[in-house]
Chain A
Amino acid sequence: MSGTGPLGAAGALLRRDLTLFFRHRSEIINPLLFFIIVVTLVPLGVGPEAATLRAMAPGVVWVAALLAAMLSLEGIFRSDFDDGSLEQLVISPQPLALLVLAKVFAHWLVSGLPLVVLGPVLGASLFLPNRAMGTMVVSLLLGTPVLSLIGAIGVALTVGVRRGGVLLSLLVLPLYVPVLIFGASAVSSAAAGLPVAGPLALLGALLVLALTLAPLGAAVALRISLG
């Protein structure tokens, strides 16, 4: 019998969400395709000069990653809201914030982690120097979970609204800006051979902040959306 405590329930939810994602692959593949397409179109638009592309690479990869993450956000709570599973989560005796965290983690594993893996590959296609690859991976590894966590609050607030997509972008984008700035600047610094500890530390701080506060915020937002 799989666990009956809060952690057992969160584990079961994580397993269930991963199963659902893998049985419904198009939902996770679309944002990844978007990420790849945007980055590969940039050289066609701005020209193939290595110097220009190298200078743009950190920003382009990070902007595309951010938009791809935003495209996939709806998927965190939408289907659960539509079929009533969300109500069952809210009226379960388990702490809702923990269940939200499990859902966000599952979502990040299938939508954020592939971005982390693809980031350096797409960076290389834009002549990003090799010495910046490590920083690219670390910055995405620290930054994309923040995008998912902040996004979860936005989705939780708008899940009850029909066509809440625009509202979601308006809510979430301003909060994404710091992640974009520190993420892209870390990679740029690394490409220029400058120290990267500063922006990475700030990204880490954002992650800790989001990890502690976002599940609580999203849990409250879900209760409001259902009420």
Chain B
Amino acid sequence: MLWRPGRRPTPAAAGIVADEAIVDDSPEIAALAQRASRLEARALECVRNDRVLFRDLDAALEPGQVLQVEGPNGCGKTSLLRILCGLSLPGAGEVYWGDAPLPEVRTEYYEALAYIGHRHGVKGELTPIENLRFHRALAGGTPDRVPGDALVHLGLEGFEDVPCRTLSEGQRRRVALARLLTTRRPLWILDEPLTALDRSGVAVVEGLIRDHARSGGMVMITTHQAIRLEGCVLGRLRLGG
């Protein structure tokens, strides 16, 4: 991982370094270096079906921050998140990770990113534990909790070994969210993560986001539901007027 000594971690990120004696190439320092990066969108434009969804959109996400994207249906929230993930290209403008435009630091960016979209990428034919194991191997990087623990945390105890297609929509969404716990990623981009979740599920997700932001992570989220994130540095980005 790139660790530039010249760049000081921000206070929010510095909070997690308790030990001065950490050697430079340790995973903690690497994780911190990632955390010290920021996500920035400069003058983004998105056009869909000859309609301008947004133009000259600037946004920045710093370590320790949560940014909630708001707006009515069809205003371009998902399009924005997909552009920030590098999945689609903006009509104009650029996304920066740290100091570099996204296409130049693609691999480093994807080592830092966890994205859960509308289609959450949970395989119906696989069990939750198989899904998580595969994603963990795919993600590489610093492993965090083992898949079993992550599922328990998401309230899926006892469902580890049944095919995901037999689970309810809300449970499948929980399996997708459990991915956030199995590998350490500083940047979470979550598109409607609360869809189909019950009240306890929403509370778990709120807890995940709070903990992540407190430990210097970054979260970008869209949701139509009320979400309680006390104690977080919460920014709002409003699309569609």
List residues of A whose CB falls within 8 A of some B CB: 1-6, 8-9, 11-13, 16, 19-20, 23-24, 82-85, 87-94, 99, 226-227
Contact = CB atoms under 8 A, between A and B. Distances in A.
B75 interface: no
A91 B125 contact: no
Given A83-B119, A84-B120, A91-B86, A9 B130 contact: no
A84 B110 CA distance: 16
A91 B143 contact: no
B106 to A, nearest CB: 8
B119 A20 contact: no
Contacts of B121: 83-85, 87-88
Nearest to B86: A91
Interface of B: 85-89, 107-108, 110-111, 113, 115, 117-126, 130, 133-141, 143, 163
Contacts of B85: 87, 91
Contacts, number: 88
Given A83-B121, A93-B140, 18 more contacts: A1-B143, A5-B140, A9-B140, A20-B123, A23-B163, A83-B120, A84-B117, A84-B118, A84-B119, A85-B123, A87-B87, A87-B121, A88-B121, A90-B87, A92-B110, A93-B111, A226-B88, A227-B88
A23 B121 CA distance: 18
Main secondary structure, interface of B, reads loop
Given A83-B123, A84-B118, A93-B110, A4 B137 contact: yes
A206 B76 CA distance: 44
Contact of B138 (A23, A24, A84, A92): A92
A219 to B, nearest CB: 12
Contacts of B117: 84, 87
A20 B124 CA distance: 9
A16 B126 contact: yes
A185 B130 CA distance: 45
A93 B120 CA distance: 18
A199 to B, nearest CB: 40
B126 A93 contact: no
A86 B126 CA distance: 16
Contacts of A84: 117-122
Contacts of B130: 16, 19
